[in-house]
Every structure is written in structure tokens, then in C-alpha cells.
Structure 1
Amino acid sequence: MKKIAWITDTAAQLDDAFIRKYDIHILPLSVVFSDGSFRESIDLTQEEFYDRLRLAKVSPKTSQPAIGEMVSLYEELQLEGYDFAMALHLSSGLSGTFESAQAAAKMTDFNVHVIDSKIGSFPMVKMIESGNELFANGKDVEEVVAAMTELTAKSKLFFIPSSLNQLHKSGRVSGTQTFISNLLNIKVVISFEDGKPVMKEKVRSNKRAKDNVTSALRGDMTTGTVPEVAVIHCNNADDAEIWKHELLQEFPSLRVQVVALSVCVGVHAGEGTTGLSWVAY
């Protein structure tokens, strides 16, 4: 068996047990406030981030891992005797992390296979899980890269921001759109198309937004297999648990977990965001 290193970033929001199980190396994304830059999960917890976000007069920005940090990690893994690395990163439509990882790989003699997840959060977990299973079953690296890349087209991620306020602060929507949305209680549904977030629907009320997303899930369950979904959220676990309960009432055999989103999503989508994510097989 080859000794394989797995690398990802904090967009995946892996728990400690998963990291230990697959021996994964994490490159942290960063949030930049007016008083400095903070590495996610290292310098800044979820709670600390949202406390800071509420008080921030200027909206924070996000920052990818430094290319020098990537090169150092690759060289360290090579010295530790790894044969090659599999590096899965946040969508290139959201961050330059994927491109930086490709550039860093060319700066060392270590063989790093860099994959653009074209998404974030829960699907990244399933891609890493699938890749490990394929290696365990004797597949070669080209087959694993191809299979993980294929999963990017089957991955779904929907967001419902609680308001457009943070999207406005981060420059994603206009002040007029935000004002009208808040006035009329209009909710937007954001999904991913070819690795980029797109506003798909504008509906009146959070219930209709959730129904819209759940309808997309039903569609994928009808045409394929969806064994598991994640209710995702930005510091809104209570509403996420309610949605989980609603899903289990309709789909009793579905595995449903609640997953906090990366704080880098919170920078743009804002506190209170909820959503759904799954991989359709």
C-alpha cells in the first residue's frame, strides 16, 4: 500500500474524529478584520467570529492559505515518507486556494494531486470518504481523482440567508435589493452552478424557501440515490435542528446530520443562514 497524505482546508469543516481516521492535514482559511487576520479553527472559534461580526463596523474579508504554507506542508510530508498527496480544496469559484495549491505543487518534488471540489462543506467530506474507500479497494490514483471529480457534479449545496444584510456589507448585493428584501420578507435561495454561488429563487417567507430546497432534494431522490443529507447553518443550530426534524418526518430512512458552515461562508452569507447539502448518486 502506498502511504497517502490527505490535505484539505477549513471549508470542509471536518470533525476531529474524521481527521484522525483518515490522517488529514488541514490548511486553514483566514478571516481578516480591521485589527488583524485570524486563522479559522486556530485563532478564531465559531462563537468568537460571530461575536466579532456583530460588532464589526467594516465587514471582514476572507483570505486563502499562503502559498508558502502549502509548500512547507508538501515538503514536510515528503520528508515523512508519504508517496503522494491528495489535496481537495474549496471551489475555485469562491477562493484562490485551489490555484495556489496547484502552483505550490509545482514548486516541490512531491507529487500532489490537487482537486477542485467546486463546492464546500458536506460534499467535501463525502469526496474524501469516497477517495479513501477507493484506495482501500485497490484503485489507482488516476481512477480515484476521476471518481472524486465526478462527484463534484453530483454535489448540491443550498443556502438561505436569514437576511441580505451581510451579503450587502460584503458587496454581493445592492442596498436597494437589501432594503426591499427586508421590507417584504423576501428570502433568496443560493445554490452552486459550476462552482459558483448563484441566486436561484426569491420567495416570500422562510418556509417557502425551505420548501423550494426540499423540493430539489425530492427530485434527486426520485431520479437517483441520496442516502444522507446535511442541514447546514451559520450559527443557527436551533433552526437547523427544526429542519432536520421536518426532513426525518417526511423521509424516515434518510440519514440527516447538522453541520456548521465555515466562518468564511458567514462573512458573506451572514449569521442565521441555513441550508441543505447532499450528494446524489
Structure 2
Amino acid sequence: MKKIAWITDTAAQLDDVFIKQHDVFVLPLSVVFADGTFRESVDLTQEEFYDKLRTAKVSPKTSQPAIGEMLALYDKLQADGYDLAIAVHLSSGLSGTFESAQSAAKMTDFKVYPIDSKIGSFPMVKMIEIGEELFAKGKEVEEVVATIQGMTARSHLSFIPSSLNQLHKSGRVSGTQTFLSNILNIKLVITFVDGITVMKEKVRSNKRAKNNVMSALRTDMAAGAVPEVAAIHCNNAADAELWKNELQQEFPALKVEVVALSVCVGVHAGEGTTGLSWVAY
């Protein structure tokens, strides 16, 4: 039986138990503030990031792992006796991490299968879980990779920024749009479409925004295709817990967990953001 390593980045936000259970190696994304570059989950906790974000005069930037860091990991895995690795990375529509992994894989004789998740967060976790289940059933690596790639079209993630202030600071919306949205309580629903984030809806009130996200989930739930949902958030676990409770009232059999988004999402969406994510089967 081959010894297989899983590689991902901090967009997946894996906990220590999952990392050890599934033999996962995590490459950190970085946040670049005026006073330096900080690796997510290594140099900077979620709490420290949002503390810095609130006081930052210039909006931070994000950066991907360096190819050299990837190559060093591949060399270590080969030296440790792994036969191959599958690397599930943040959408190439948001980060160059996947492209770097492709380039790095060509520069080593260690076999690496880079996969563009075309999304972030919770679905990346499910891709690794499903892959592990397939290997346990004796499936070959090519079939596992193909199955995970197929999951990208059935993965959903939509979120609602608490305000447009951080989107304005990061250059995503204009000052006029931000001002009007704050005055009129306009909420944006942002979702992943073919690997990139797009503004799905612009509505009045958070309730209407949440109903918009819920409509897509209800469609998949009606087909009996969603066993689990993540209530996602940017440093707003309290509101994510409320959404979790609402989901469980409407769908008593549904498994719902609260998941913090990568701080790299927080750089653009801002503190207070909430949303939902799931994979349809």
C-alpha cells in the first residue's frame, strides 16, 4: 500500500486533529501589513490579525507560499518515505498557489498531484476526507484525483460582508458605494462561480441576504444531496452560531458546524462576515 501525503494551504483552516488524522501538510498563506509579512496560523492568530486590521491605516495584502517552500516540503516528504502527494489548494481565481504548485511539481522527481479546488474553506476539507475514504476502499490515485476535481463543480460558498468598509479599503468597491450601503443598509451576497468570487445579489437588510443564500441551499436540500453545512465567518462566531441554530430548526437531521474563514478572506470581506458553505452529492 502506497504511503500518501495530503498537502493544502491555510485557506482550508484545518484543525490539529484533522491534520494528524489525515496526514496533512499545510502551507501557510501570508498577510502583508505595513510592518511586515505574517504567515497565517504560524506568525499570526485569527485574533491578532483582526486586532491589526482594525488599526491598519493601509489595507494589508495577501501572498501565496513561495515555490521554494513547496519544493522543500516535497523533498522532505520524499525523504520521509512518501510515495506521492495530493495537493488541494485555494482557488486559482483568488491565489497563485495552485499555479505555483503545478510549477513546483514539474521541478521535482517526487510525484505530486496539484488540484485547483476552485473554492476555499469547508469544501477543501471535504475533498481531503472523500479522497481518504476512496484510498481506504483501494481506489487508484488517478480515480481519487478525478473524483476530487469533480467535487469542485458541486461545492458552494456564499458570504455576506457585515459592511463594505473593508471591501472599500482593499479597493473592491468605491467610497460612494460604501457610503450608500451604510446609509441604506445594503448587503452584498458574494459567491464562488467557476473559481472566482462574484457579487450574486445586492439587497436591503441582512435577513434578505441570508434568505438569498438559503435559497440555493434549500434547492440542494430538496434533492437530498447535502448531509453537512458549514456556517462560516470572519471573527463573528456568535452570528454564525445563530445561523447554525436556524438551520438546525429548519433541517433537524442536517449536520452543521461553525467554521472560521481564512484571514486572507478577512483582508477583503472584513470582520463580521458570515455565510454558508456545502458540497452537494
Q: TM-score, normalised by structure 1?
A: 0.99
Structure 1: distance between partners of 2:60 and 2:203? 28
Structure 2: distance between partners of 1:153 and 1:5? 24
Are 2:144 and 1:144 aligned?
yes
Structure 1: distance between partners of 2:154 and 2:25? 25
Q: How does 1:204-223 map to 2 (within 5 A)?
A: 204-223=204-223
1:111 maps to which residue? 111
Residue 177 of structure 1: how far off its partner (Å): 1.3
Q: How does 1:172-183 map to 2 (within 5 A)?
A: 172-183=172-183
Structure 2: distance between partners of 1:72 and 1:134? 28
2:37 maps to which residue? 37
2:58 maps to which residue? 58
Decide which moves more: 71-80 or 171-180. Answer: 171-180
Number of equivalenced pairs? 281
SS of corresponding position for 2:101: helix
Residue 224 of structure 1: how far off its partner (Å): 4.3
Amino acid at match of 1:227: P
Structure 1: distance between partners of 2:123 and 2:108? 29
1:135 maps to which residue? 135
Q: Encode CA deviations 1:94-144: one digit per residue, 9 max, x unaligned.
A: 000000001011111100000000000000000000001001101111100
Please identify runs of 4+ aligned residues in structure 1 that moved more than 3 A.
none
Q: Which runs of 5+ in 1 are unaligned?
A: none
Structure 2: distance between partners of 1:112 and 1:207? 44
Are 2:260 and 1:267 aligned?
no
Amino acid at match of 1:176: T
Structure 2: distance between partners of 1:221 and 1:253? 11
Structure 2: distance between partners of 1:243 and 1:131? 29
SS of corresponding position for 2:163: coil
Q: Which runs of 5+ in 2 are unaligned?
A: none
Decide which moves more: 220-229 or 97-106. Answer: 220-229
Amino acid at match of 1:28: P
Amino acid at match of 1:57: K
Give the fraction of aligned pairs with identical amino acids, expressed as a percent: 79
1:202 maps to which residue? 202
Amino acid at match of 1:229: V
Decide which moves more: 58-67 or 216-225. Answer: 216-225
Residue 223 of structure 1: how far off its partner (Å): 2.8
Structure 2: distance between partners of 1:109 and 1:130? 26
Residue 3 of structure 1: how far off its partner (Å): 0.3
Q: Encode CA deviations 1:68-95: one digit per residue, 9 max, x unaligned.
A: 0000100111111110000000000000
Amino acid at match of 1:17: V
SS of corresponding position for 1:191: strand
Structure 1: distance between partners of 2:237 and 2:11? 18
Amino acid at match of 2:250: E
1:184 maps to which residue? 184
